[in-house]
Structures are given as structure tokens and as C-alpha cells.
Amino acid sequence: MPGAEIDSEVTRAASRRRWGPLLEAGIAIYEFQPTMFHCKVMVVDDQWVSVGSTNFDSRSFRLNAEANLNVIDRGLALEGRRAFEKDLVRSRRITVAEWRHRPWHARVGEWFADLLGSQL
């Protein structure tokens, strides 16, 4: 996930509001620290790679002109995995305890941002 360097703080706040159930289920969430991070890359079973601009939301699927390139190629998948692992080292893991104890003003901002969720 993008860290503090982001082009839309409202989008970041709306997203963070929904992290609780994911963290509680054991999903690891990391925020990339050095700079803006906006890529969408998925590597599955070191075989399949999906790279593109599509978000997993109804706006991307129905309204925005976005696309992904999907490739089955072990070499490309391993290269994508290496790039991910390199970025992960420069990221900070968000724990469920940290998320639960975030400041009240962050919670209020997240609540207001979530009201705009269908438009983000």
C-alpha cells in the first residue's frame, strides 16, 4: 500500500478504515515508505503475472479506461517476485494493534473519507 507519500490522502484514509477485518484475519499489510507507489502487480504461483492500471473496484471495471496485461511466464513471474521482495524491504508492516490504536483524528478522517468511497 502507499505510505505517506500519496497523491490522494482521502483515498488513503478511506482505504485504511477498512483494514481492520483484513488485519484481524491475518492479512499482512505493508506501506511503501520511500516514495509514491501506485503500481498494480500480481504474481500467482511463480507462473502468472498481471501488470496494469486496474484497481479491484467497480469504478475501474465499469467507468475508467483501465487495463492489465496478463502473462503466463515463469521467468517474468520470478522477476516480478524479486522486485516485490526488494520493495517489501523498504516498506513498513502495519499491525492490527497499531491499526486499532491509531489516533482519534485519523479515525474521524477515515470515517468522512469512507462516505466518498463509491466515488474514489
In this prediction, residue 62 has a pLDDT band, given cuts at 50, 70 and 90, of confident
Arithmetic mean of pLDDT, 14-42: 89
Q: Are residues 29 and 73 in the same domain?
A: no
* Same domain, yes or no: 119 and 102: yes
Task: Kindly report which listed range (15-24, 35-44, 55-64) carries the lowest average pLDDT score.
Answer: 55-64
Which residues form the domain of 100?
A: 1-34+94-120
Could you tell me if 116 and 10 are in contact, meaning their C-beta atoms sit under 8 angstroms apart? yes
Say how many domains are in the chain.
Answer: 2
Question: What pLDDT is recorded for position 8?
Answer: 75
Task: Clarify whether residues 74 and 104 are in a common domain.
Answer: no
CA distance 23 to 16: 11
Q: Which residue has the cell 492500471?
A: 53
Whole-model pTM: value is 0.78
Same domain membership, residue 69 and residue 112: no
Domain identity same for 105 and 72 = no
Helix (H, G, I), strand (E, B) or coil at 43: strand
Can you read off the three cell numbers belonging to residue 80?
516480478
- Whether 30 and 42 share a structural domain: no
Same-domain pairing of 20 and 44: no
| 120 confidence band (pLDDT: 50, 70, 90) | low
Residue 90: half-sphere exposure toward Cβ, Cα within 13 Å: 12
Mean pLDDT of the chain: 87
pLDDT for 93:
96
